[in-house]
Amino acid sequence: MSKLFNISEASNIAVHSLAMMANRTEHLSATQLSEALHLSRNHLAKVLQMLARHGLITSTRGPKGGFVLNRPASEISIYDIFVIIDGKPEIDHCRIAEGFCPFDECVFGDVQHKLFDEYKHYYMHRTIEEIALFKEKN
């Protein structure tokens, strides 16, 4: 059975990185982020490039360079990040092609659609700013 909701590793990296940037006024380098989050620098760099392409962050080269938020943290929803990184989430719980199922009603009911709607609503209204309110570990 496929997973009901899956937050990819790349989305996870993106959310954590953006929240760390929201906690700081200075630029953070990919190395600083990868060390703080205990992540592969290469994987992190790919995620950061994607976020920069979509205008969520800005990068600056040089010794005092790094990454900073390009928009207020209050305007970046977790759902927006999921869509940027993984595409629009969809429910894919049934492997029987539409139109070929012999049953009058879905054998799974509509609970998955209700849960998906709650999941989507929650992450559309949860922002990076809310996450950034938590203290970082030193």
Domains in the chain, please, with CATH?
Answer: 9-132 (1.10.10.10)
Q: What is the pTM of this model?
A: 0.84
Residue 38 token pair: 């205990």
Segment 120-129, tens digit of pLDDT: 999 999 999 9
- On whether the CB atoms of residues 69 and 57 are closer than 8 A, the answer is yes
Segment 78-118, tens digit of pLDDT: 999 999 999 988 776 677 777 788 888 888 777 888 888 99
- On whether the CB atoms of residues 28 and 19 are closer than 8 A, the answer is no
Q: Which carries the bigger pLDDT value, residue 15 or residue 7?
A: 15
DSSP per residue over 36-54, as a string? Answer: HHT--HHHHHHHHHHHHHT
Torsion angles phi and psi, residue 51, rounded to 5: -65, -35
